[in-house]
Amino acid sequence: MSSLKQGVPQQVLPRGVRESTDADLPAMMAIFNETADTGANSPVTRPMTLEEVTFYINLYKNDGLPVYVIERGCEVVGWLSINRFSWGTQACRNTGEAAIYVRADHYGRGVGVRLGQASVILARQYGLETVVSWIMGANKPSQHIVQAIGARLWARLPNIARFGETRADVLLFGLPLYEELNQDA
């Protein structure tokens, strides 16, 4: 279920990026679970089941928000989702949280940056005014991706994540799009 905003110019997505389908869910789950319980790349502390991943993906899609994959050689090698900002209040309704997942054997190949570029294009097309991303403090590759698309560090939440006895920082990056929306009007 798409909720593309009417009157917003449709930019072309990076090569290989397309809307996800149910057939992509097993690959998306496998990619998501690669970082489970690492304490570095993701706050996830255990692998998710296909049923759980399907539930969350359908939740985002039913909310009219994008879930897209990127393919290389007919294989899904990464995916992105944009969901409502976790505060979820009316005042923040035009803010989306972007999440990007890349298959480990494609790290450092530009897949994450292409997905980051796609998230900005999609956020605009879906009428969002701001995109944020929560990133673990040790996850340098994800920090690089969001900085490459123009996001800036807005907050550091020290030691709020816990993996066993190890504590970790969570960073909040943000990218305002509303200035661009005003210029387009």
Residues in a beta bridge with 153: 173
Domains and CATH numbers, the chain: 17-184 (3.40.630.30)
Average pLDDT over residues 7-34: 91
**Spatial contact of 174 and 151, defined as CB atoms under 8 Å apart:** yes
Cut 0.85: pTM above it = yes
Is 18's pLDDT higher than 70?
yes
The CA–CA distances, whole Å, from 32 to 119, 175, 176 equal 17, 24, 27
For residue 13, pLDDT over 70 is answered with yes
Alpha helix segments (H runs only) across 24-91: 25-33, 50-62
